């Protein structure tokens, strides 16, 4: 398939998506009554494609992943003394 044919198919697909969105929003507009209160949730907003795009991921200042180093705790040292007088 040539680049021109692929670009044409992509633009036709984009046009169809926009036309579908226009139809969905028209149905919503035609069924909303002025002065009424509607409780809508995230799924409703997703259906109407009314949610904003998520924010971009922040760029990391670290070029390499952080390597955490831990040191073992000497448990025998803690058992030598006692925590309370008279033990």
Q: 23-35, pLDDT tens digit by residue? A: 888 888 888 888 9
Indicate if the alpha-carbon torsion angle 56, 59, 60, 61 is positive or negative: negative
The pLDDT tens digits of the residues spanning 10-69 come to: 888 889 988 988 888 888 888 888 899 988 888 888 877 788 888 887 776 666 777 788
Q: What is the pLDDT of residue 80?
A: 56
Q: Within 13 Å, how many C-alpha atoms sit on residue 57's CB side?
A: 3
Phi/psi at 56 (5° precision): -70, 150
The pTM assigned to this predicted structure is 0.44
Cβ proximity of 28 and 48 under 8 Å: yes
């Amino acid at each position: 398939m040539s680049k021109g044919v692929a670009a044409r198919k992509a633009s036709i697909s984009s046009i169809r998506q926009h036309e579908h969105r226009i139809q969905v929003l028209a149905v919503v507009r035609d069924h909303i009554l002025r002065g009424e209160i509607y409780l809508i949730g995230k799924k409703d907003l997703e259906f109407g494609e009314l949610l904003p795009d998520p924010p971009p991921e922040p760029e990391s200042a670290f070029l390499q992943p952080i390597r955490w180093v831990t040191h073992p705790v000497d448990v025998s040292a803690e058992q030598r003394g006692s925590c309370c007088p008279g033990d």
